[in-house]
Structure 1
Amino acid sequence: MSVHANKTGGHKFEVIWNPATDDPRGRIAYAIESGRLENALAVLGATAVEDLGPVEMLRQLTQSTASLQRDLERKTRGLVVALRDNHKLSWTEIASLLYDDPTKRSSARGVYNAGVRQLGLINAEVSEDTDTD
């Protein structure tokens, strides 16, 4: 992975990536050029929703963060399928990665099952009552 966010001093940073290898579909570029990444970072840093501005600004911020969240959720599901199927991580390990809570194995399986469906691997789906770890 060659995407880097480097602090350049004070409260500034730069994002460096190779569009051909790191962003062939242009998702990073779009997130930056559309202002969605900037908006999501503003929400992340806000102390309270009330500090973010009037309703039109809240609408824009909501759309931006929801868009990035959907993209990241899709990517997370794919990562979970790879971790489970290719690298044989346990449900406990995956739950710890996803939720910082190793007891959320059922939730981890739900993310895995959604990833399986998303990737078209329906036959690999795991039921809730099998493979407890």
Structure 2
Amino acid sequence: MPVYVTSAGQRSATIAWEPQDDPHGWLSRAVESDQLSYALEALGDGETEHDTSRQADAALQAAHHTMTIARLLEARVAAQVVRLRDAHGLSWRRIAETLHGDPDKQSSVRRQYEAGLRQLGR
């Protein structure tokens, strides 16, 4: 894995990558724009889901950043599905089982595959 996330102690981590590991600059933008921070905050949000101390505009910004990175990750999964099918020759059933926990969700995987093809310009 070309991107390294290293535990730097309890509740702390370091992320490192080389420029060739981020040719489109998505990692850099996710870090510099706070998208990653907001997404990780959302992942850890348990007891505070009803916390109203954050102003509406700040809450909207947090949701926007989280949605932006979620969409990007969804697009990356679609590209990975293309690679799994075309380069590795995996069956729809096996991909569905791994990604969705249900081998019968092959139509979902096919939709991801088609989205991946469009994203890759094929």
TM-score (norm 1): 0.82
- 2:26 is matched with which residue? 27
How much is the aligned-residue C-alpha RMSD, in angstroms? 1.6
Corresponding residue SS for 1:11: coil
- 1:104 is matched with which residue? 105
* Aligned amino acid, residue 119 of structure 1: L
Bigger Cα displacement from structure 2, 60-69 vs 47-56: 47-56
Q: Number of aligned pairs?
A: 120
* Aligned amino acid, residue 39 of structure 1: Y
Q: Aligned-pair distance for 1:107?
A: 0.7
- 1:50 is matched with which residue? 50
Q: Sequence identity of aligned pairs in percent? A: 39
- 1:82 is matched with which residue? 83
Q: Which runs of 4+ in 1 moved over 4 A?
A: none
For 1:115 and 1:32, the matched residues in 2 are separated by 24
Q: Aligned-pair distance for 1:33?
A: 1.3
- 2:11 is matched with which residue? 11
Corresponding residue SS for 2:89: coil
For 2:51 and 2:41, the matched residues in 1 are separated by 10
Report Cα offsets for 1:13-55 as digits up to 9, x if no partner: 110111x211122211111111111011000110153237332
- Gapped runs of 5+ residues in structure 2? none
Structure number with greater CO (CA < 8 Å, separation at least 6) is 2
* Aligned amino acid, residue 41 of structure 2: A
TM-score (norm 2): 0.88
Report Cα offsets for 1:52-106 as digits up to 9, x if no partner: 7332222011111111112111111111011111111111111122212222111
- Gapped runs of 5+ residues in structure 1? 122-133
- 1:127 is matched with which residue? none
Corresponding residue SS for 2:79: helix
* Aligned amino acid, residue 73 of structure 1: E
For 2:7 and 2:67, the matched residues in 1 are separated by 26
